[in-house]
Amino acid sequence: MANNLQNIKLEPDCENCAAYCCVALAFDKSNMFAYDKQAAEPCKHLDEAHSCTIHADLDEQGFKGCVRYNCFGAGQRTFHEIFEGRSWRDHPDQAQEMFDAYRVMHKVHEFLALLREVRKLKLDETQVSQVANFEAELTPLPPWTSANLIAYETCGTFEEIRAFFTGLRDRV
């Protein structure tokens, strides 16, 4: 297993995040979201302290998509590790970089969470080694920076991991 994987939290911790998911991502008016929002535009229900003003009421207010969304811990990690606690509100010049890094960190964490589940399947030796290699790639040392995260999005590894998961369909 990759060196620092055991220290990485794959569960959200909204209290320790800058609400990237409520800003960075776009959503369309649908049965999941009550209005159209562009990427990089703060949701109109987000307050100055990065809290959702309708949090207790998301379903009723038409935001089922927010209830279902899971950042797999990418939000607080991007906030603390990559941007050292700086918010997009206080550093608007870095906001787009923060949102881009968050988007890729989300993919990294989602795949790490899926690989963790895949480890519970009956895998052959080659597959176990593939899982370990993917985990190692997704948990690099030295750790992620915003630049190498953003560059990583198009390097092809996410597609390779997706293809690996597809090949495991008969094991599920």
3-state DSSP assignment of residue 164: helix
Provide φ and ψ at 92, rounded to 5°.
-60, -25
Contacts of 3 (CB under 8 A, 6+ apart): 136, 139, 141
Site string for ligand SF4, 47-86 (x = CB under 6 A): -----x-x--------x--x--------------------
Q: Per CB under 6 A, which region of 1-9, 41-49, 109-117, 155-163 contacts ligand SF4?
A: 41-49
**Between 10 and 29, how does the x/- string for binding to ligand SF4 read (CB under 6 A)?**
------------x-------
Cα angle value 12/167/127 (rounded, 5°):
80
Only segment of 46-54, 75-83, 87-95, 155-163 that touches ligand SF4 (CB under 6 A): 46-54
Contact between residue 132 and residue 2 where contact means Cβ atoms under 8 Å apart:
yes
> Smallest distance, Å, CB 133 to ligand SF4?
35
The answer to whether residue 45 forms part of the interface with ligand SF4 (CB under 6 A) is yes
Find where tokens 């990089």 sit: 40
Q: Which is nearer to ligand SF4, 22 or 131 (CB)?
A: 22
Nearest Cα residue to 108 out of 133, 139, 70: 139
Q: Is 6 helix (H, G, I), strand (E, B) or coil?
A: helix
Stretch of residues binding ligand SF4 (CB under 6 A), selected from 44-52, 75-83, 104-112, 161-169: 44-52
Question: What is the binding site for ligand SF4 (CB under 6 A)?
Answer: 22, 43, 45-46, 52, 54, 63, 66
